[in-house]
Structure 1
C-alpha cells in the first residue's frame, strides 16, 4: 500500500513536470512576443551573419528575448541563418517569427535617377541593398564585363536606365549589375533599334545624346524639340555647341572641383577636352549624366523642324527660345544674358 502511494506520487509529479514543460513550450512557441507599436517591423540579416548579430536586431522588438533564444536553439535557427529582409508582424509568436525570418525573404523596390557618374550611382544603390558602394563600383566598371557587352568606362552609365526595380535586399553587386544589363537589353526592342538606325546612331550614341538633351531641358514636352536641334546639327556637320558638355569638361579639372558653374563663359569654350562640343564635331565619347527615359525617347522620336539654335527663355524658366538663324539666336541669347546679369549671375 505504501509503495503504491509512492508510485502515485511519482506519477503525479511526472504529470506536473510534463504539464509545466508543455506550458513552457506552448508559451515559448505560441504566445505573442512583440513589443513594438507599428503593425510591422523589419530586420536585415547580412550575408554570413551570426546569431548574435541577428539577436541584437531582435532584442528591441521582442518582450522576451530569452524565450526566443530557447526556441531558436531548439529549431536550429541559431546555426542556420538566412540572409535577407524579413518582416515581423505585431502580435507574432516566437514560432511565427522564426518561420518568417528563416524562409520569407521580402523583396523591396529600389529606385535611381539623375546620377552624374557611375560612382554616384554606386553610392545611391548601396543605400538600398546590402552591397557596398565599392563592390558596386568595381562590378560596374569591370573592363571584361564592359567590353563583352559593348560598353566602355565613358558609356557604362548608359546601361542603367532610371526607374524603380524589385530586388532582394541581400543582392550582390554582380547580381545587381547583371540584372540592369537584362533591363537594358529588354529596353532596346527591335522598334527602338530601328529608330536608332534611322538616325544613324547606335544605342550608346542615342543615350549619350539623350544625356545632353536632359541636361539642357528637364521639360519632357520640350525635349523632342531640343533633340531635333542637335540632330539637325549632327546632320550638317555643325558642332553641337552644348553648354552642358562644357560644364562636364570643366568639372573634370582640379580648378573647378567643388564649384558650381551657373553661367558658361568664353573661357570654358577653350577647355581642351573631347567633351568640348564647341571645339569638336560629333558626339562626345560618352554620357555627361544619366538621362531620364523621357530624354532617351525624345532622341528616338525627335521633333522634325528646321531649328539650329536655342537659348534659355528668361520669361519661361526651364524652357527655351528656338531659332533658325544665327541672328535670331543672338538676339535670344542677349536677352537671356541680360537676365542673368540682372540677377547677379556672372559665373
Structure 2
C-alpha cells in the first residue's frame, strides 16, 4: 500500500467506523423496542388479556397496566402507535406467553389470535342454570341468552324448537369456544354439537322405536333423573318404552318432582300425584311436553339401545346403592316398593 493509499484509508476509516457504530446502535435500539422480550412471567399460572367487545385501545392499556403484564409500557406504546394498533383493537381472550416481544404481542392482538376457552357444560334442569353456566365462562351476559331461550319465534325459526323443547338442543360435556362468543353464536355452537350427535344410525334407531329425536331427549332426561348407574339406564329405558307401547302412564317420579318444583324429595306422597301439570305422568299418558333435565350422551344412548325385557315396573333398591329393582307384575312391584319404603322409615325420611 502506498503512502497516498494509506492516507486515504485513514481519512475514510473513522467515518466508516462512526457509521458502523450508528448502525449497530440503531439495530440495538430497534431490537430493544421491537424484539426484546417484554411480557412478564406470571407467578399464578397462564396470564390472559381480556378485551371486551366495544372497548378500545385505552382499555387494553389499562388491563395491561393493572395486570402488570409488561416490563416496559413505553416501548409497547411506541410500537403500537407505529403499527396503528389503536385502530385495530379486536375483542377476545389472549394468552400472553412469557417472553413475547412487543412485535409478537401486537401481531397476536391485531390479528385476533385468541386462546379458546375449554369448559364442561354440566347437566341442568332449568334455562337460567344454563345461562349462568355460560356467563361464567364466556363474555356474554346471562340476560341475552335467557331472552333468546324465551323467544319462541326465534327458536322455531332457527332450530325448529320452542321454549319447552329447547333444552333438547344441549348436550352436557366438553365445549371449546372463543371467549367473546355471543349468545346467538353459543346457541349455534350447541346446535352443531347436537347435529353431530344425531348421526344417521342414531336417527334410524329412534325411528325404529317410533320416537323423534326430541322425544328421545325427553325420555332420556327421565332416565337420567332416575339413575346415575350406567348398568341400569338401558333397563329403565326399556321399562318406560314397554309402558309407552302398552298405553300405560309412565308414572315417573322425576317428572312429578319437576311438576312440584322440588327435586330434593326422597319420598313421593299421594298428594304430590294430584298436582295439575302436563309433567304429571301419574295423570297424563305419554311423554311430558319437554325434558326435565339436559340429557347426556349416556342417557340418550340408553334410550336408543334399550334393554329388551318384559319389565313394566321398577323402584329404587333399599340401601342407597343407586340401583333399582325391576318387576314384571304389579304384585311383585308392590313388594319391592314396600321394602324401599321400610328402608326410608328406618332412616326417618319423611319427605
TM-score (norm 2): 0.88
- Asked whether the 8 Å contact 2:319–2:343 carries over to 1, the reply is no
Cα distance in structure 1, aligned partners of 2:311 and 2:320: 19
1:1-347 equivalence runs, <5 A = 23-37=28-42, 40-59=46-65, 60-103=68-111, 104-148=113-157, 149-251=159-261, 260-315=264-319, 317-347=321-351
Structure 1, 270-279 or 97-106: larger mean CA deviation: 97-106
Cα distance in structure 1, aligned partners of 2:287 and 2:128: 23
Deviation, 1:34, is 2.7
Structure 1, 51-60 or 19-28: larger mean CA deviation: 19-28
The root-mean-square deviation of aligned C-alpha atoms, in Å, is: 2.4
What does the per-residue CA deviation read over 1:129-165, in whole Å, with 9 as the maximum and x for residues that have no partner? 2211111222333322322333111110001112212
State the aligned residue count: 333
- Asked whether the 8 Å contact 1:141–1:156 carries over to 2, the reply is no
Deviation, 1:261, is 2.1
Cα distance in structure 2, aligned partners of 1:78 and 1:341: 70
- Asked whether the 8 Å contact 1:51–1:81 carries over to 2, the reply is yes
Structure 1, 181-190 or 268-277: larger mean CA deviation: 181-190
What does the per-residue CA deviation read over 1:26-58, in whole Å, with 9 as the maximum and x for residues that have no partner? 312122223334574221222222122222222
- Asked whether the 8 Å contact 1:87–1:100 carries over to 2, the reply is no
What does the per-residue CA deviation read over 1:299-319, in whole Å, with 9 as the maximum and x for residues that have no partner? 111001011111111235111
Unaligned segments of structure 1, at least 5 residues: 1-10
Unaligned segments of structure 2, at least 5 residues: 1-15
- Asked whether the 8 Å contact 1:234–1:240 carries over to 2, the reply is yes
Cα distance in structure 2, aligned partners of 1:58 and 1:317: 52
What does the per-residue CA deviation read over 1:179-203, in whole Å, with 9 as the maximum and x for residues that have no partner? 2222222322222222111111111
Cα distance in structure 2, aligned partners of 1:15 and 1:150: 72
Deviation, 1:209, is 0.5
- Asked whether the 8 Å contact 1:313–1:319 carries over to 2, the reply is yes
- Asked whether the 8 Å contact 2:148–2:155 carries over to 1, the reply is no
**SS in structure 1 of the partner of residue 137 of structure 2:** coil
Deviation, 1:339, is 1.4
Cα distance in structure 1, aligned partners of 2:177 and 2:300: 24
What does the per-residue CA deviation read over 1:220-253, in whole Å, with 9 as the maximum and x for residues that have no partner? 22100000110111111111010001110001xx
